[in-house]
Structure 1
């Protein structure tokens, strides 16, 4: 075949190569997942999207097949040396030498074609079928193929057209040809084609009845019925090894239910296993532990992570209500993976569901919360810290001692904010120590928290900063936070200290910097007594603008 310059200009070989790669990925997806799986459905959608630029340039795509390559217009668009993973080798070894795809093949036929390739790859060595016979049975309209006959002299070719897209005979013509070549039928043998098999000999009522029965049969939950039988055997058959055998079946079935997204059946297993522990008589300890094992394994990080990823990826299909029933059965050991996954979820319904599960688990399992707070390298630690404040978990405060010693300032800052929300004596004690933290943001958050609650225990540390030399090295924000906290905590007892900073000193004494005096004015505004207001009014005409502004703001706050 010679290269057509027009074809390669309208349709670059790279576009065809990309299409073949997407077909290879779809082939793997069809092998690994069932048709109702979201990954399987996404593979079909990707295939259809990949064909759009192809059909914009041409109405057919002709690929020549060699051992390890697919060739289009004399250009190699696919090469895979490893034959076990090669589409080209799968087609070549069964005799296909050319494959033509016509416009529209991707809609209904291509995924069936790829499924057939997968089926042919795993046929037994002594199977009566091969790729050619499997394809003949499908009678494609938009896919044409050419095979060679391995047994013909000189390696002749077998025409392999399917349907009207390039074949020389329709399905009806081929059937007629087979009928002509068939041997005569022996006497006494009935041909089903000669029997009138229509339903029109039934009356309307009978037809309606049959249709209703068929519909009911198709809608019947056969798996649920089978599970109920197993649960009944588990409850009513204590003798022999019946219960152990039933448990073995359920243990083998449960992971498959999760993988196939049959959450209704999975929820039934979890629900009934909990009930059986109370209803079934004479259960051995080992059998009780195996009944507990379903939810214990589900709560493990690896299994739960795969389940959450699957639910999040399928969020476009809607959240299965039975999935919520499964997740609500989780144990406290699932708290860490759940909190770790929450920030990564893209599905809002799934996030809201998990937040409810997390809140329930944390509120009823304080010991597990404290254990997680003491694990410094846990990915869930920031989320656990924030959750303690949101749920007001006061019993978790002792574990914050380890959190406040964490090497990451962001974790310590989150802990300070949570302790400020909790406000217990233990929390205030930890915040008092955080006032001397090496990180500026943590110091500011801590001193604001103790100042907001007027915690007297922090007065010594806060006053030490206000009267000490380190305050001169602070920026205005941090300096203001310490003075405001001092005013709120010290109250009237701080008037002498603050007035000495704010007001004019003697001739032999140095005046404090304007910013420090302004901070003292703001602190006096927090005291809100007549004496504090009098001191502020004495400084209302100060020559420094920043001091006057701070005094006026403090006076307005004191009046309010």
Structure 2
């Protein structure tokens, strides 16, 4: 069975030149640009080795080229050969005559592939270059330095040298290269069993390496790994399974699509569905989003647009299935995602038909940060239809009402103030206060009228807050609204705290009508109703204290000079007079 497989692969290789495809050609050119700037950066670092602060600047263009490649095409995998780095079996970096043989430094230590992942940082690239420039004769070899550096986003495939029986080192190396080449090809295979690339069995190797002699009784010796090394390896394996596995699978699937290995839409739909469910179980939202990005990128290619559009529409439909969304809801209800923006991007990619399901999920989530993720997504999905959000404004759940207010405000619906005004009837005080604060930020007459209705609210806190915000919207109209309440027969029944708040609000209008009302109250005389007159004068003094002006200052001065006033009134007047003098004149003596 192995021979026909080889024949098919040979025929396929003869028929298809990878660089004949525009996307592969683009990958090759960008990779070549990266290695060109990398070589220049290495040369500059070698010349100015003492100027360590300049290293990132020397490698900036190389980093930009690498970032451009990985953002569009995913990981950059370069094959390491003795004299060059290659991509699609074509050299992208060759050793120049008289130049330093950079590829051989890696090749000598058994490194056969270098993989630069999309998240690679400038610091990691600098570290990688410094390792490449190091002299193994004066310190550790390249492989040991790479191992110790622990570059998270730069990976490498290594072949360790060893000896077997009477075979020469060159013979062993040839056979080992065959093994590694086969293992790596499983990641890029176009054969029918490509989905098993991550599970290579011994039988697979027997089929492939039929020309390689089997060696019995080989003895492998070495040092036992310590606990720290074992723990580190376990962590790396765990990370590989949780964060690197799916991007690799995805890259392999798209590479097969590019090379024509899979052309049936139904087969691709089945693959993507299984990938979606697996990634959701691993909570790998970043890879799901990258899959959508790749499909949108394919849509720009006329030759692939039809298939890519069909696959994207199908995939987004599966993303929006109620069962999958409720699974995400369970995740958000139990944990805080490490990358919340990835969850938001997933929900942002849905369509408006998912709004009702997301609203039902929102009601059960208790973690505030996760509620925010869903609210932001709903604000994007529901910007054309306010009804689902408006219907929930009268909910008994105060947090849900706050979320609906946030969404409606963010969507900026034309009638949003009307919706907020209706929410002032909500039985929950916290909701009403929040709506009142939101209405006060608008200067519209419609919002002002809604706030005026709150002056007659059943709750004293609402009435006080409404009185405080009205002068900021329209002082002249606030004067009339506040005087109406103050002069009403029911005002005397209200407690002193509320009365004081309304007089302070009246004074903050800084209107002539307010000053006249205060002066009228202060001019009251009589032996009857002394307690009522004293209270009125104290309220008037409080109101005058909120309108720093020369007329108000003189009115307070007159109160202080009138010795017929009660001691409590005189004390309050002196206190407000002193504060107003500092406001109007600073520390200068009174010139009035």
The 3 A distance-change label for structure 1 pair 202 and 227 is: same
Identify the match of residue 487 of structure 1 among 507, 513, 520. 507
Cα offsets for 1:81-139 (capped at 9, x unmatched)? xxxxxxxxxxxxxxxxxxxxxxxxxxxxxxxxxxxxxxxxxxxxxxxxxxxxxxxxxxx
Structure 1 segment 540-551 matched on structure 2, within 5 A? 540=560, 543-544=565-566, 546-551=568-573
Distance in 2 (CA, whole Å) between partners of 1:457 and 1:224 is: 65
Distance in 2 (CA, whole Å) between partners of 1:556 and 1:305 is: 64
Q: Helix, strand or coil: the match of 1:344?
A: coil
Contact 2:350–2:381, Cα closer than 8 Å, also in 1: no
The 3 A distance-change label for structure 1 pair 302 and 467 is: farther
Confirm whether residue 531 of structure 1 aligns to residue 551 of structure 2.
Answer: yes
Identify the match of residue 452 of structure 2 among 432, 448, 453. 432
Cα offsets for 1:36-89 (capped at 9, x unmatched)? xxxxxxxxxxxxxxxxxxxxxxxxxxxxxxxxxxxxxxxxxxxxxxxxxxxxxx
Q: What displacement does 1:401 show?
A: 2.7
Q: What displacement does 1:330 show?
A: 4.9
Distance in 1 (CA, whole Å) between partners of 2:324 and 2:567 is: 65
Q: Helix, strand or coil: the match of 2:546?
A: helix
Distance in 2 (CA, whole Å) between partners of 1:227 and 1:545 is: 89
Greater shift, 402-411 or 358-367, is seen at: 358-367
1:382 aligned partner: 402
Identify the match of residue 243 of structure 1 among 249, 257, 265. 265
Q: What displacement does 1:486 show?
A: 1.7
Q: What displacement does 1:543 show?
A: 4.5
The 3 A distance-change label for structure 1 pair 246 and 531 is: same
Q: What displacement does 1:230 show?
A: 7.5
2:254 aligned partner: 228
The 3 A distance-change label for structure 1 pair 511 and 389 is: farther
1:203 aligned partner: 169
Confirm whether residue 268 of structure 1 aligns to residue 285 of structure 2.
Answer: no
Distance in 1 (CA, whole Å) between partners of 2:178 and 2:564 is: 99
Distance in 2 (CA, whole Å) between partners of 1:450 and 1:464 is: 13
1:257 aligned partner: 279
Distance in 2 (CA, whole Å) between partners of 1:308 and 1:479 is: 48
Distance in 2 (CA, whole Å) between partners of 1:549 and 1:393 is: 52
Contact 1:254–1:266, Cα closer than 8 Å, also in 2: yes
The 3 A distance-change label for structure 1 pair 324 and 409 is: closer
Residue-pair matches, total: 353
Q: Helix, strand or coil: the match of 2:283?
A: coil
Distance in 1 (CA, whole Å) between partners of 2:260 and 2:391 is: 42
2:331 aligned partner: 310
Structure 1 segment 21-420 matched on structure 2, within 5 A? 199=164, 201=167, 203=169, 206=173, 222-228=248-254, 242-243=264-265, 246-247=268-269, 249-251=271-273, 253-275=275-297, 279=301, 291-292=312-313, 294-295=315-316, 298=319, 303-310=324-331, 313=334, 315=336, 318-319=338-339, 323=343, 325-327=345-347, 329-330=349-350, 337=359, 340=362, 344-345=366-367, 351=369, 355=372, 358-359=375-376, 362=379, 366-368=383-385, 371-375=388-392, 376-377=394-395, 380-385=400-405, 396-420=416-440
The 3 A distance-change label for structure 1 pair 407 and 256 is: same
Confirm whether residue 520 of structure 1 aligns to residue 540 of structure 2.
Answer: yes
1:552 aligned partner: 574
Distance in 2 (CA, whole Å) between partners of 1:505 and 1:299 is: 76
The 3 A distance-change label for structure 1 pair 553 and 402 is: same
Contact 2:333–2:366, Cα closer than 8 Å, also in 1: no
**Ranges in structure 1 where 5+ consecutive residues have no aligned partner:** 1-196
Cα offsets for 1:485-528 (capped at 9, x unmatched)? 22223611222212222333356787735444322222122233
Distance in 1 (CA, whole Å) between partners of 2:261 and 2:577 is: 78
Confirm whether residue 497 of structure 1 aligns to residue 517 of structure 2.
Answer: yes
Cα offsets for 1:134-180 (capped at 9, x unmatched)? xxxxxxxxxxxxxxxxxxxxxxxxxxxxxxxxxxxxxxxxxxxxxxx
The 3 A distance-change label for structure 1 pair 292 and 418 is: farther
Contact 2:559–2:565, Cα closer than 8 Å, also in 1: no
Structure 1 segment 429-468 matched on structure 2, within 5 A? 429-468=449-488
TM-score (norm 1): 0.51
Cα offsets for 1:252-289 (capped at 9, x unmatched)? 542343123343442233334445566567988x9968
Q: What displacement does 1:415 show?
A: 0.6
Contact 1:492–1:527, Cα closer than 8 Å, also in 2: no
Q: Helix, strand or coil: the match of 2:532?
A: coil
Contact 2:329–2:361, Cα closer than 8 Å, also in 1: no
The 3 A distance-change label for structure 1 pair 418 and 279 is: farther
Distance in 1 (CA, whole Å) between partners of 2:549 and 2:262 is: 79
Distance in 2 (CA, whole Å) between partners of 1:358 and 1:213 is: 50
**Ranges in structure 2 where 5+ consecutive residues have no aligned partner:** 1-161, 188-197, 199-239, 584-592
Distance in 1 (CA, whole Å) between partners of 2:500 and 2:321 is: 49
The 3 A distance-change label for structure 1 pair 310 and 328 is: same
Q: What displacement does 1:455 show?
A: 4.3
